[in-house]
Amino acid sequence: MRTKVREFSCHDETGKDAIVIEWDIQADGIQNKQACCKEFSLVDGSPVVRLGGKFEHFYSGKLFTPV
């Protein structure tokens, strides 16, 4: 199961606004509520990865910096 944790307001390299969403992923059948991993995506669902203090768009390589 995927649970939304928080949203990060970001700017891309050209100054455009973007929202990155952090998700907790939980394995089915696990009784405790601990997340087994985290996932990040843009609002449109496309994946981003955390690189230090920034996020990189998986498909384009565009960097997003939290505000």
* pLDDT (tens digit per residue) in 4-61: 999 999 999 999 999 999 999 887 766 666 658 899 999 999 999 999 999 999 999 9
Cβ 2 vs Cβ 23: under 8 Å? yes
Number of domains within the chain: 1
Cβ 33 vs Cβ 22: under 8 Å? no
Q: What is the pLDDT of residue 10?
A: 98
47 is in which domain, residue-wise? 2-66
In this prediction, residue 2 has a pLDDT band, given cuts at 50, 70 and 90, of: confident
Query: Residue by residue, what is the 3-state secondary structure of the chain?
Result: CEEEEEEEEEEECCCCEEEEEEEEECCCCCCCCCCCEEEEEECCCCEEEEECCEEEECCCCCEEEEC
Q: What is the pLDDT of residue 43?
A: 95
pTM: 0.84
